[in-house]
Amino acid sequence: MNIDHQQRILRFDGARNVRDLGGLPSAAGATTRYGVIIRADGLSRMSDDDLTRLAALRLRTIVDLRHEPERERAPDRLPQHAPPGFFVRGFYPSGIEELFHAINVLGVGPDEAAAMMCANYARMPFEHAAELRDVMHHLIATDTAPHLIHCTSGKDRTGILIALVLLALEVPRAVVLEDYLLSNGDWQPVDTFATNARPETVAAVMAAPAEFLESALDAIEARCGSFAGYMDTWLGFGDRERAALARLMLS
């Protein structure tokens, strides 16, 4: 299947990593639907024109994966008329504070920082299974779609969750990685790096190389034997739940 990823990208002034999960191939010739789940980065800088664009998506739920201090520093800017509801399951990925200390205080280089990112990704599906579980089940709850799922940069916490959604829909792993790689490019300013942090290290952490997500997926397979085993055991997302997600997302 020839995937038009550019068609999936949604352009905004104040958000730079937004795309629809529609148009991706799944098992048995099915394709993911447009307009059901949107993935995004931060929404705090949305312009007035952006709010009009957001309103046109007719979102029912904003799934916010940021922890409370992030939300307080940069609250989402949403349409005033009929704003969507919130489903907040924020978390700060385990190991991220050590990473920021290594970058901001110890001055580590890009290779060491990238290795720390891989380790963080490998832990995330297990150490934050409770939050991931809640969101996966919320996605198939009645009358909650369309959803917009976001964190700060839209690639790490959001990237893990979106990968779980797509793999639960039997989207091939290679296509899941293709989608993840689209998070490379320009990013919104973040306030987590010191002014003396090495620019090349910041760039390495803010990138979305395949090995980051592969670290999480490989850890799932190594620990659980299969993706389905992880979904069943850690997220309580078995055959019935995956069928409900397929009804929501596949055509």
Q: What is the pLDDT along the chain (251 residues), one digit of tens a residue?
A: 689 899 999 999 999 999 999 999 998 899 999 999 999 999 999 999 999 999 999 999 999 999 999 999 999 999 998 899 999 999 998 899 999 999 999 999 999 999 999 999 999 999 999 999 999 999 999 999 999 999 999 999 999 999 999 999 999 999 999 999 999 988 898 889 999 999 999 999 999 999 999 999 999 999 999 999 999 999 999 999 999 999 999 99
Output the six-digit token pair for 8. Answer: 């999936």
Residue 76 sits at φ, ψ, to 5 deg, of -60, 140
Q: Which residues have CB under 8 Å from 122's CB, separation 6+?
A: 215, 216, 218, 219
pLDDT digits (tens, 9 = 90+) for 45-94: 999 999 999 999 999 999 999 999 999 999 999 999 889 999 999 999 88
Single pTM value for the model: 0.96
DSSP code for 195: T
Of the candidates 185, 226, 188, 189, which has an alpha carbon nearest to the alpha carbon of residue 209? 185
d(CA 236, CA 190): 34
Cα 147 to Cα 86, 150, 214, 219: the distances in Å are: 10, 10, 25, 28
Domain locations in the chain as residue ranges: 5-249
Q: What stretch of H or E contains 64? A: strand 61-64
The yes or no reply on domain 5-249 and CATH 3.30.1600.10 is no
Of the candidates 125, 169, 149, which has an alpha carbon nearest to the alpha carbon of residue 33? 169
